[in-house]
């Protein structure tokens, strides 16, 4: 797949997720075979007002390419200026968030709220794409609610405005993250534009990835929640498309080793105090599905040091060997 003039290799990308797809996890996913990654969403106003937190979110490392920086907002000129600042990092491209359902974003007219204002969404894309030389992509939802499922119409406008690719999450803003994804609307978007369409939602393994491709005809897949505690999913998908082989799930030991690797990167990035507190949620995801996970998750809530994390990992591994 090509996004603008950028050749993308592989078969699945890491979707942006606030509080999750930081630099540490993006590096992990690239190492595991993600075709490209997208940063946590960053406020365009924060970037233009030199907000320290916004600029920290924009930091990228040499081991996480290709990487797109995602920005959000509703003011075209501000979005264009923020995109220029993002481009200066050397990122692969700019992604515009038109899908976030969170009240603090959509409630202020940005994110998924732009699905209600297609002309404004197109103006933003036009201003941003004219401001930068790198490809500009968009992440949209199927619509705002069941009475306005307009992703295909919005996608056409965004393509005309200069978007190089569109990721479609197959739910409305009102639906948030349930019920199951509407594959038909993703298929409709694909049929209505000539740029790459990336399908997103409910991809948790090779089987659901194949289902996304088969049901929608999309050019690519983007994985969000299905990658939480499971960066192995990218290698599994790549292996299937390249060889037809369905890989065995990672062993408990492999999962625990990956968890430790991830949290070490996280602490290096954010310091031990913040890193270990963020490690608590990640550890819970890595342990999910393992026998005794509920009891182990209670221990994750008290993690404060890498030694404690390693002790927990050893307990999980030892129990798996006893089963």
- Please tell me the distance from the alpha carbon of residue 126 to that of residue 51, in angstroms, as a whole number: 25
Q: What is the pLDDT of residues 163-207, one digit of tens each?
A: 999 999 999 999 998 889 999 999 999 999 999 999 999 999 999
Asked whether residue 52 carries a pLDDT value surpassing 80, the answer given is: yes
pLDDT of 179 reads: 86
Confidence of residue 294 (pLDDT cuts 50, 70, 90): confident
Tens of pLDDT, residues 154-164: 999 999 999 99
For 277, the 3-state DSSP assignment is helix
- Confidence band, pLDDT 50/70/90 cuts, at residue 134: very high
Select, from the ranges 114-118, 176-180, 318-322, the one with the highest average predicted confidence (pLDDT). 114-118
Q: Looking at 4-8, 54-58, 127-131, 257-261, which range is the least confident one?
A: 54-58
The proportion of the chain whose per-residue pLDDT surpasses 90, expressed as a percent, equals 90
Residue 190 burial by Cβ neighbours in a 10 Å radius (0-12, 13-18, 19+): buried
Alpha-carbon gap, residue 276 to 296, rounded angstroms: 16
Q: How far apart are CA 254 and CA 215, in angstroms?
A: 32
Where exactly are the structural domains of the chain?
2-243, 252-322
SS (H, E, C) 151-214: HHHHHHHHHHHCCCEEEEEEEECCCCCCCCCCHHHHHHHHHHCCCCEEEECCCCCHHHHHHHHH
pLDDT confidence band for 71 (50 / 70 / 90): very high
Q: Mean pLDDT across the stretch 119-134?
A: 98
What CATH architecture applies to the domain 252-322? Answer: Orthogonal Bundle (1.10)
Mean per-residue pLDDT of the chain: 95
Closest CA to 304 of 287, 281, 279: 279
**Phi-psi domain of 117 (left: phi exceeds 0; alpha: psi -120 through 50; beta: other):** beta
pLDDT grade for 323, boundaries at 50, 70 and 90: low
Cα separation, 77 vs 186, in Å, equals 30
Q: Which CATH superfamily is domain 2-243 in?
A: Aldolase class I (3.20.20.70)
How far apart are alpha carbons 73 and 111 in whole angstroms? 7
Q: Is the dihedral of CA 226, 228, 234, 239 positive or negative?
A: negative
Residue of 29, 32, 91, 100 marked catalytic: 100
Residue 178: predicted pLDDT: 87
Between 55 and 32, name the one with better pLDDT: 32
Owner of token pair 């592989």: 10
**100 belongs to the catalytic site:** yes
Q: How far apart are CA 93 and CA 66, in angstroms?
A: 8
Q: Is the pTM of this model over 0.85?
A: yes
Q: What is the CA radius of gyration of the chain?
A: 19
Helices and strands, counts by H and E, the chain:
14, 11
- The distance from CA 152 to its chain's CA centroid, rounded to whole angstroms, is 21
């Amino acid at each position: 797949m090509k996004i603008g003039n950028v050749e993308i290799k592989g078969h699945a990308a890491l979707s942006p997720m606030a509080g999750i797809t930081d630099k540490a996890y993006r590096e992990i996913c690239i190492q595991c075979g993600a075709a490209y990654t997208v940063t946590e969403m960053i406020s365009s106003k924060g970037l233009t007002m030199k907000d320290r937190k916004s600029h920290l979110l924009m930091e990228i490392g040499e081991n996480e390419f290709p990487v797109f920086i995602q920005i959000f907002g509703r003011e075209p000129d501000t979005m264009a200026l923020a995109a220029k600042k993002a481009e200066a990092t050397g990122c692969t491209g700019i992604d515009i968030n038109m899908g976030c359902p969170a009240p603090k974003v959509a409630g202020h007219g940005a994110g998924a709220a732009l699905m209600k204002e297609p002309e404004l969404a197109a103006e933003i894309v036009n201003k941003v794409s004219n401001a930068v030389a790198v490809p500009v992509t968009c992440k949209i939802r199927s619509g705002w609610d069941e009475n306005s499922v307009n992703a295909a119409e919005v996608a056409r406008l965004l393509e005309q405005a200069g978007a190089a690719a569109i990721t479609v999450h197959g739910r409305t803003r009102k639906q948030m993250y349930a019920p199951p994804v509407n594959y038909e609307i993703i298929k409709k978007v694909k049929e209505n534009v000539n740029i790459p369409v990336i399908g997103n939602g409910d991809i948790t393994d090779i089987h659901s990835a194949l289902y996304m491709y088969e049901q929608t005809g999309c050019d690519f897949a983007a994985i969000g929640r299905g990658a939480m505690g499971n960066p192995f999913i990218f290698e599994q998908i790549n292996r299937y498309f390249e060889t037809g082989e369905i890989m065995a799930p990672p062993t408990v030991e492999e999962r625990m080793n990956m968890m430790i690797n991830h949290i070490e990167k996280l602490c290096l990035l954010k310091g031990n105090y913040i890193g270990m507190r963020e490690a608590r949620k990640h550890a819970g995801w890595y342990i999910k599905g393992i026998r005794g996970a509920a009891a182990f998750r209670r221990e994750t809530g008290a993690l404060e040091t890498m030694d404690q994390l390693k002790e927990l990992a050893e307990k999980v591994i030892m129990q798996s060997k006893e089963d």
